[in-house]
Amino acid sequence: MTTLSVNINKIATLRNSRGGNNPDLVKTALDIERFGANGITVHPRPDERHVRYQDVADLKKVIKTELNIEGNCTEDKFVQLVLANKPAQVTLVPDAVGQITSNHGWNTLEHRDYLIKMIGVFKEAGIRTSIFVDPVIEMVEGAAATGTDRIELYTEEYAREYATGNKTSVEIYTAAAVKANELGLGINAGHDLDLQNLQYFVDNVPGLLEVSIGHALICDALYYGLENTVQLYQRQLK
């Protein structure tokens, strides 16, 4: 079964907008777990404009499902944060400083030696590793050469095309997944997956282990309620 990890960055953004602790990020994460999510994802950035570094430590103390920390491992502070908190999974994303949201995967050929080094650091600490990649066969093959446990397929192109009625956009993801399965890589996916496009993606991407969903899920929760929304997404996965 494909598991659901809920990215709570948007909850932190709402909290930070007023400078207090409403909504309470830790309580919300625990409620999301209670409502049926299989994990919690956070993506702290250097300016801490949403999830703060202290939030990660606070969440680590109480999360009962899997904690997934996303971020750019070229930032020493991020590396130290991950090693100090030892999440179930670290997802390495090649974000630039100040980038609004992730918009591309690693060039696993160009950065192979660097990724081998950093993945080794995290795996030595007993942390499962995943790296953000575009659905390109060569990038998947390059990922396998780094020693990573999993890849996370960047799904913005699929979501954009699906919204126009072009379901054939999933085909490059299917091919990438087939190659990843051949190479023994676990497969995660995320970015712009929602209640409209999720089930079709899951049905056509063999071996999909986890989806990480934040923005769309939190937006849907404004209309459907948080508990109901988490369960609606789980139904799409099942």
Residue 138 a catalytic site member:
no
pLDDT of residue 103: 57
Q: Where are the domains of the chain?
A: 3-237
Q: Which residue in the block uniquely carries the two structure tokens 């007023």?
A: 18
> How far is the CA of 158 from the CAs of 41, 162, 232, in angstroms?
21, 6, 21
* Catalytic residue flag (residue 215): no
Sign of CA dihedral 132, 77, 146, 188: negative
The CATH topology of domain 3-237 is TIM Barrel (3.20.20)
Q: The whole model's pTM is what?
A: 0.94
Handedness of CA 4, 62, 10, 136 (dihedral sign): negative
Reading the block at residue 130, the tokens are 């995943």
Catalytic, out of 43, 111, 152, 210: 43
pLDDT for the residue 55: 98
Q: Tell me the per-residue pLDDT of 132-170, one tens digit each, with 9 for 90 and over.
A: 999 999 999 999 999 999 999 999 999 999 999 999 999
* Rounded Cα distance, 2 and 149, in Å: 16
Give the dihedral of Cα atoms 1, 106, 110, 208; nearest 10 deg.
Answer: 10
Query: pLDDT confidence of 46, banded at 50, 70, 90?
Result: confident
pLDDT at residue 28, rounded to an integer: 98
- pLDDT class for 74, splitting at 50, 70, 90? confident
Candidates 33, 50, 66, 70; catalytic one = 70
Active site residue 70: yes
What tens digit of pLDDT does each residue of 193-224 get? Answer: 999 999 999 999 999 999 999 999 999 999 99
pLDDT of residue 96: 60
Instruction: Give dist(CA 141, CA 196) in Å, integer.
Output: 30
CA dihedral 214, 218, 219, 225 (to 10 degrees): 150
| Catalytic residue chosen out of the listed positions 33, 111, 152, 191 | 191
Whether pLDDT at 97 is above 80: no
